[in-house]
């Protein structure tokens, strides 16, 4: 199973772009990369998912280099409400179900 490594914490000022990088050196060919956001005492919430290159949705962008051994979640113009823990997970694509395990996550603190 691919293991992920992320920075434990990051600080950013409001209005800035935040980039959180995740390392997943032993990602499998059929694995997808998925990012989740979690607020205290709530369930994780899906942000974005990708397989290769770049994916963009209304809240974030995900950049995946050709070797897929890392990925970068980009949050444009963060606000105080983006203060949360962000998890990078790899898995999926093998059908049926997924033994999806969480890494330590990155605690993002947005400062006014």
CB of 35 to another protein, least distance (A): 11
Q: Which CB, 13 or 102, lies closer to another protein? A: 102
Q: Which CB, 13 or 46, lies closer to another protein? A: 46
Q: Which CB, 45 or 54, lies closer to another protein? A: 45
Q: Which CB, 18 or 90, lies closer to another protein? A: 90
CB of 79 to another protein, least distance (A): 22
Query: Who contacts 58 (Cβ-Cβ below 8 Å, separation ≥6)?
Result: none
Greatest Cα-to-Cα distance within the chain, rounded to the nearest angstrom: 44
Helix (H), strand (E), coil (C) string for 14-76: CCCCEEEEEECCCCCCCCEEEEEEECCCCCCEEEEEECCEEEECCCCEEEECCCCCEEEEEEC
Binding site for another protein (CB under 8 A): 31-32, 34, 36, 41-46, 49, 87, 89-105
CB of 97 to another protein, least distance (A): 4
């Amino acid at each position: 199973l691919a293991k992920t490594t992320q920075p434990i914490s990051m600080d950013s000022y409001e209005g800035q772009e935040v980039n959180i990088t995740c390392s997943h050196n032993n990602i499998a060919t059929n694995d997808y990369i998925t990012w989740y956001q979690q607020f205290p005492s709530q369930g994780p919430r899906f942000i974005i998912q990708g397989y290769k290159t770049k994916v963009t949705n209304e809240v974030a962008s995900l950049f995946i280099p050709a070797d897929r051994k890392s990925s970068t979640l980009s949050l444009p113009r963060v606000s105080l409400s983006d203060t949360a823990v962000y998890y990078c997970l790899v898995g999926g694509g093998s059908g049926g179900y997924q033994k999806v395990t969480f890494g330590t996550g990155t605690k993002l603190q947005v400062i006014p």
